[in-house]
Amino acid sequence: MAGYEGALGHDASAASLGAVDGFLRRVAALHGKLEYEVEEPIVTAGGSAYFDQVVEVLGGLDARVVLRSGAYVVHDDGFYRAISPFSRGAGPGPLRPAMHGWARVVSRPEPALALLDAGKRDLPFDEGLPEPHAVRGRAGSILGGARVTALNDQLTFLALDEGSVIDCGDVVRLGLSHPCTAFDKWTLIPVVDDIDAPDPEVVDLIRTYF
């Protein structure tokens, strides 16, 4: 028996947590009414946002309970960073993101705008726009109040403070939100040795099957 509670909430509000809890209790009640033809039935639920509630409600069932959480693999810098149980006090601390976008500045058409060579075809955007974190090879933070305001198919619009020294050719590291829609864009993901190195080196490739 399978269920998915993640569609019932989009935040960690009392209303969302209550809706998820109610759904999981209905799943548990249905499990108790079913007759299975196997010795160890499987009950599966648990996205990456409310798996703590899944364990609490379904963990005591007479069944093998399987969590299907996926964002633990790389985590993110957006939706799951805010809503994960580990960011809400469970466990020793929050997970760390392990996936980033890298995009080159290809134009400075206005004093407070830079265009990067990545867009909707490259970066997830359904659960929040990318966040600018650093410029490769530049010591310290020169991004100031920089923020991504929009994506089109092939470009990222990066709003800057006027007078920013970011220039064409600079490579910006972007934090990403929602790993699922990053994986389905990239079937071969480069692994770098150190995201904070002046010139990170690709040391491996990971193939995805999403």
Give the DSSP letter string of 63-123. Answer: SEEEE---TTTT--SSHHHHHSGGGTT-SSS------EEEEEEEEEEETTEEEES--TTTS
**pLDDT of the chain, 210 residues: tens digit per residue:** 999 999 999 899 999 999 999 999 999 999 999 999 999 999 999 999 999 999 999 999 999 999 999 888 899 999 999 899 988 888 788 899 999 999 999 999 999 999 999 999 999 999 999 999 999 988 766 788 899 999 999 999 999 998 889 999 999 999 999 998 999 899 999 999 999 998 999 999 999 887
Q: What is the pLDDT of residue 55?
A: 95
What single-letter DSSP state applies at residue 45? E
Residues contacting residue 99 through CB under 8 Å, at least 6 positions apart: 74, 75, 76, 176, 179, 182, 189
- Taking the whole predicted model, whether its pTM rises above 0.85 is answered as yes
Residues whose CB is less than 8 angstroms from the CB of residue 112 and which lie 6 or more positions away in sequence, other chains included? 159, 160, 161, 162, 164
Give domain limits for the chain. Answer: 6-69, 100-207
| Cα dihedral sign, 191-151-141-172 | positive
The packing angle between helices 14-33 and 51-58, to 10°, is 40
User: What topology does CATH give the domain 100-207?
Assistant: Lyase, Ornithine Decarboxylase; Chain A, domain 1 (2.40.37)
Contact 75, 183 (CB under 8 A): no
Q: What does 139-206 look like in DSSP terms, one character per residue? A: SS---TT-EEEEE-SS-EEEE--TT----TT-EEEEE-S-THHHHTT-SEEEEES-TTSSS--EEEEE
